[in-house]
Chain A
Amino acid sequence: MDWLQLRIDDMKPGDLDIPDLLEMIEQAYALLYPNKSAKRQKVSLDIKDCCVLLDLKTDDSAAVKNMQDTLNAVNTSRNLDIVPARFKNALLKLKEKTADLHRPLLINTSQGHPEKPFFLDKNTLLQPENNFWFKTRVYLYGIVYAAGGKDPNIHLETRNKGKVIVSVSYKVLASVKTNLLYKKIGLVASVEQHLHTGEVRNAKFIEFLPYNLDKSETIPPETDAFDQVVDPVEWVRSLRGAV
Chain B
Amino acid sequence: MGSLSSGGCVSKSPQKPEYTVFFDTNFLIYLAKPSAPEYPSALKYYQWLKENNVPMLTSVVCVAEFAVKGNPDVIPRDIEVLALEIHHAKTAGKLASIYYQRSKKDKACIADDLKIVAQAQLEKATHLLSHDRDMMKICEHLKSEGIDLPFSLTDPITIPAESCFGFLEI
Interface residues of A (CB under 8 A from B): 134, 136-139, 141, 143, 159-160, 176-178, 180, 182-186, 188, 193-198, 207-215, 217-223, 225-227, 229, 232-233, 235-237, 239-243
A221 to B83, Cβ gap below 8 A? Answer: no
Q: Give chain A nearest CB distance to B5 CB in angstroms.
A: 4
Across the interface, A237 reaches (CB within 8 A) one of B29, B32, B134, namely B134
Across the interface, A212 reaches (CB within 8 A) one of B55, B78, B85, B109, namely B78
Subset of 9 A-B contacts with CB under 8 Å:
A160-B123, A184-B8, A207-B1, A209-B81, A222-B33, A222-B74, A232-B29, A236-B24, A236-B29
Which residue of chain A has the shortest Cβ distance to B132 in the bound complex? A233
Instruction: Tell me if B's interface is mostly helix, strand, loop or mixed.
Output: loop
Which residues of A sit under 8 angstroms from B20, Cβ to Cβ? Answer: 159
Instruction: Tell me if A's interface is mostly helix, strand, loop or mixed.
Output: loop
Sample of 5 more A-B contacts, CB < 8 Å, known A139-B81, A242-B109: A159-B20, A197-B87, A212-B6, A212-B78, A220-B74
Across the interface, A136 reaches (CB within 8 A) one of B76, B81, B86, namely B86
Across the interface, B87 reaches (CB within 8 A) one of A183, A198, A210, A213, namely A198
> With A159-B20, A233-B132, A243-B134 in contact, do A208 and B3 touch (Cβ < 8 Å)?
yes
Across the interface, B7 reaches (CB within 8 A) one of A178, A196, A235, namely A178
Across the interface, B78 reaches (CB within 8 A) one of A213, A237, A241, namely A213
Across the interface, A214 reaches (CB within 8 A) one of B6, B25, B82, B132, namely B6
A210 to B2, Cβ gap below 8 A? Answer: yes
Q: Is B30 among interface residues, defined by CB-CB distance under 8 A? A: yes
Which residue of chain A has the shortest Cβ distance to B35 in the bound complex? A227
Across the interface, B85 reaches (CB within 8 A) one of A138, A143, A185, namely A138
B1 to A188, Cβ gap below 8 A? Answer: yes
Which residues of B sit under 8 angstroms from A193, Cβ to Cβ? Answer: 85-87
B interface residues, tally (CB under 8 Å): 66
Q: Is B143 among interface residues, defined by CB-CB distance under 8 A? A: no
Q: Give chain A nearest CB distance to B47 CB in angstroms.
A: 6
Within B99-155, the residues touching A (CB, 8 Å) are: 105-106, 108-113, 122-124, 131-134, 137-138
Which residues of A sit under 8 angstroms from B8, Cβ to Cβ? Answer: 183-184, 212-215
B1 to A232, Cβ gap below 8 A? Answer: no
6 pairs of A and B residues whose beta carbons are closest in the complex: A213-B8, A241-B109, A225-B70, A183-B7, A212-B5, A208-B4
B1 to A209, Cβ gap below 8 A? Answer: yes
Which residue of chain B has the shortest Cβ distance to A136 in the bound complex? B86
Q: Give chain B nearest CB distance to A127 CB in angstroms.
A: 14
B29 to A242, Cβ gap below 8 A? Answer: no
Within B18-32, the residues touching A (CB, 8 Å) are: 20, 24-26, 29-32
Which residues of A sit under 8 angstroms from B26, Cβ to Cβ? Answer: 232-233, 236
In angstroms, Cα B32 to Cα A136, docked, is: 31
Contact with A along B60-102 (1 / 0, CB 8 A): 0000010011110111111011110111101000000000000
Q: Is B164 among interface residues, defined by CB-CB distance under 8 A? A: no
Which residues of A sit under 8 angstroms from B46, Cβ to Cβ? Answer: 220
